[in-house]
Amino acid sequence: MTKELRVGLAGIGTVGAGTFDVLARNREEIMRRAGRAVRIEAVADINTERARQITAGRARVLDDAFALVADPEIDVIIELIGGYGIAKTLVLAAIAQGKHVVTANKALLALHGNEIFAKAREAGVTVAFEAAVAGGIPIIKAMREAMAANRIEWVAGIINGTTNFILSEMRDKGLPFAEVLKQAQALGYAEADPTFDIEGVDAGHKIAILSALAFGTPLQFEGAHIEGITKLESKDIRYAERLGYRIKLLGMTQRRSMGEGKEGLELRVHPTLIPAARLIASVEGAMNAVWVKGDAVGHTMYYGKGAGAEPTASAVIADLVDLARALDGPMEQRVPALAFQADQVRVLPVLPIESIESAYYLRIQVADEPGVLADITRILADQEISIDAVLQPEPAEGEAQTDIILLTHRCVEGHVKRAMASIQALTTVLAPLVMIRLEDLS
């Protein structure tokens, strides 16, 4: 009989408990796919009482994750501790002991993945991470394997369910950001400290991983441009709707020619206007979606639950099945961690945000006087920025000010920022300008 795959689970919180339960519930189906039994031999968690309740005697319970690494009976460590302190030490220790690793830890990989993958290659083991991006959506496998024939042009994703829920609620109910955030926390969609989500950091970790997979580069999270949703106002969501767009927190990466045969990468996370007719614009609530454009296949989109106990467990267990299938096979036949062969990974510089090209939404609060729009359009023209659409609502009764909303054609961001500085200096402009990027995704 084929040797079973014996697993050590480090961390049995929400995802860990989901992994334990799904693996037990679907044990026979998983064995039929994997060709061998997959069993969690031991669980390590600081809350041993809760761990014993979940495991109910079906696995040993420890209070030290490093005891899993030292156990010669364990083949694979599942790291679900989170963060990049103890988790990094644990993963590197497991690799040094010749154990495979499965992790859902996008922060760890975005910041330390280059070191971790290099150590894993040296040790002849695998670090699998399907659950690190978009929960139960199998985007890592799709990009590493199914897209292998393609030169990928760009990747764009709604890859943080918390922020997508907040933006959906702001649009549907017209509520301000702060109020919807409290609602999201009460419903469990947002953490007590939601900073990583609402400031775009979580999405930045994920798009850095997807960028490396798409373009065969090292992980370069430190070069990413990241903006969150904390400054978004409900009125901008309403104006976007009137113009035929929806605002989403979008992670985006694409390869750009720099001339003379050189290339660079755009790597960015920010609120983005997307045409309402695009399929990804209809992704609502806490759902995730990733849109990939390849030169051969064209557009493909991957949609589903980006978080949660069982969706994320689905991805963790899929990695275990892959490991079970390849456990006795040679290292050179395994799919490379970042899709490209290690000696073919090459650095492409991350381009500064000022050099990107996009279309733009500008909201300008102005005095309701003749000639204001003419002054603004002249400044834009001086920076070679052409206007695609204008929306100028009637001022409220008794008000001597109004908003001017402009959509530009695609142009260089540095030009837009210079134009904004000049517009802001006009005496008829009464508040700080609002700028949101616009992507057509065609």
Q: How large is the average pLDDT for residues 338-346?
A: 93
The SS3 of residue 356 is coil
The SS3 of residue 78 is strand
Alpha-carbon distance 344 to 90, whole Å?
28
And the tokens for 276?
Answer: 């309402």
What Rg do the C-alpha atoms of the chain give, in angstroms? 24
Q: How confident is residue 331, by pLDDT bands cut at 50, 70 and 90?
A: confident
Q: How large is the average pLDDT for residues 284-296?
A: 96
Lowest mean pLDDT across 256-260, 285-289, 411-415: 256-260
Alpha-carbon distance 123 to 120, whole Å?
5
Is the pLDDT score of 370 beyond 60? yes
Average model confidence (pLDDT) for the chain? 95
Q: Which of 106, 206, 248, 293 is catalytic?
A: 206
CA 132-136-140 angle, 5° bins: 50
And the tokens for 424?
Answer: 């802001």
- The answer to whether the beta carbons of residues 207 and 253 sit under 8 Å apart is yes
* pLDDT the model gives residue 334: 85
Is the pLDDT score of 438 beyond 90? yes
Span 62-118, pLDDT tens digits: 999 999 999 999 999 999 999 989 999 999 999 999 999 999 999 999 999 999 999
The SS3 of residue 300 is strand
* pLDDT the model gives residue 390: 96
* pLDDT the model gives residue 1: 44
Span 142-200, pLDDT tens digits: 999 999 999 999 999 999 999 999 999 999 999 999 999 999 999 888 899 999 999 99
Across-strand partners of 399? none
Contacts of 202 (CB under 8 A, 6+ apart): 106, 107, 159, 160, 162, 196
Whether the domain at 5-136+309-344 and the domain at 139-305 fall into the same CATH topology: no
Classify residue 32 by burial, with Cβ atoms within 10 Å: 0-12, 13-18, 19+: exposed
- The answer to whether the beta carbons of residues 61 and 48 sit under 8 Å apart is yes
Domain ranges of the chain: 5-136+309-344, 139-305, 353-438
Span 202-243, pLDDT tens digits: 999 999 999 999 999 999 999 999 999 999 999 999 999 999
Domain 139-305: CATH superfamily is: Dihydrodipicolinate Reductase; domain 2 (3.30.360.10)
* pLDDT the model gives residue 332: 73
The domain 5-136+309-344 is placed in CATH, from the list 3.40.640.10, 3.40.50.2300, 3.40.50.720, 1.10.10.10, at 3.40.50.720
Pairing of strands 5-10, 38-44: parallel
> What is 353-438's CATH topology?
Alpha-Beta Plaits (3.30.70)
Burial call 164-180: b when 16+ CB within 10 Å, e when fewer? bbbbbbbbeeebebeeb
Span 417-427, pLDDT tens digits: 999 999 999 99
DSSP state of 2: P
Q: How confident is residue 2, by pLDDT bands cut at 50, 70 and 90?
A: low
Helix (H) or strand (E) holding 293: strand 287-294
Task: For residue 206, indicate whether it is catalytic.
Answer: yes
Q: How large is the average pLDDT for residues 241-253?
A: 97
* pLDDT the model gives residue 258: 82
Cα dihedral angle (144, 150, 152, 155), rounded to 10 degrees? -60
